[in-house]
Structures are given as C-alpha cells and as structure tokens.
Amino acid sequence: MVVEGRQRIDKWLFFARAVKSRTLAAKLVLGGRVRINRDKAAQASDTVKPGDVLTITLDRRILIWKVLDAGSRRGPAEEARKLYEDLSPPPAPSDGVPDALQPVRDIGSGRPTKKARRQTDRLHGKD
C-alpha cells in the first residue's frame, strides 16, 4: 500500500542525488548513516514524507536536509534540488591550516634533489 506523499528512503536519496545509485542508498541506510527526524533509519524501505528532516553522514561531511517533496524520477540536478531544503551549517573557514587528513611533511625531508645529492656525494668524497 502506497501512501500519497510518502516514499522509500532509498528511492528518495537516489532521486535527490545524495548517492549515485539506489544500491548505494540502501547500503547507506543499512550502515546506520541516515537518520529520519533524529531516529536511525533501520531499513531501506522506511518511508519519508514532506516535512521530515534527514541527517545523512557521508565520507567527510554531514548533510541535514528537510524533505519538501517525494521524487518521481532521477532527473537533472536542478530538479533534484527541489526535493529538499538544505539546512546544513556552512563549512568552517580554513585559514590556511592544512586538513587533518592531508599528509604534512617538513621542508627538506622528502627525496633529495639532484643538486642536494651531488653536494652529499662531495661531502662524502664520492666525486
């Protein structure tokens, strides 16, 4: 039985372009990375309706979307944006501080240049 205005969460995530495929949407839900109104979505068949607030945890970001409409197809991005209202806080400004996941290396600690290698060879007497 299909209730008007309600839709399966995996289909809705696919139509809203949160993920690339419906299979990935189902895995996202089963992995416990989707919350509907602060409650974890247990199954891909859980339904959403307009007014629900979804909290979606992706790799490096958290999306907070308010459902505005149920989708009918996976259309272009402009059509997908009409399905939700983005309530996510803006990302924190990075003041030149490197990302925690980015490797940090001291200057000069990498592989030596040809010039530096020749200087080292001269120092050791290997002309």
pLDDT in tens, the chain (127 residues): 456 789 999 999 999 999 999 999 999 999 999 999 999 999 999 999 999 999 999 988 899 999 999 999 999 999 999 999 999 988 777 666 555 666 666 776 778 788 888 988 888 888 6
User: 12: closest CA among 86, 79, 74?
Assistant: 74
Rounded to whole angstroms, how far apart are CA atoms 53 and 96? 33
Q: What is the pLDDT of residue 98?
A: 54
Helix (H, G, I), strand (E, B) or coil at 14: helix
Please state, as a whole number, how many other Cβ atoms lie within 10 Å of the Cβ of residue 47. 17
Q: To which CATH superfamily is domain 1-89 assigned?
A: RNA-binding S4 domain (3.10.290.10)
* Backbone angles phi and psi of 84, in degrees to 5: -145, 160
Return the DSSP state at 101. Answer: T
Rounded to whole angstroms, how far apart are CA atoms 57 and 28? 8
Q: What is the pLDDT of residue 74?
A: 94
Q: Are strands 34-36 and 62-67 parallel, antiparallel or unpaired?
A: unpaired
Q: What is the pLDDT of residue 97?
A: 57
Number of C-alpha atoms within 13 angstroms, CB side, residue 122? 6
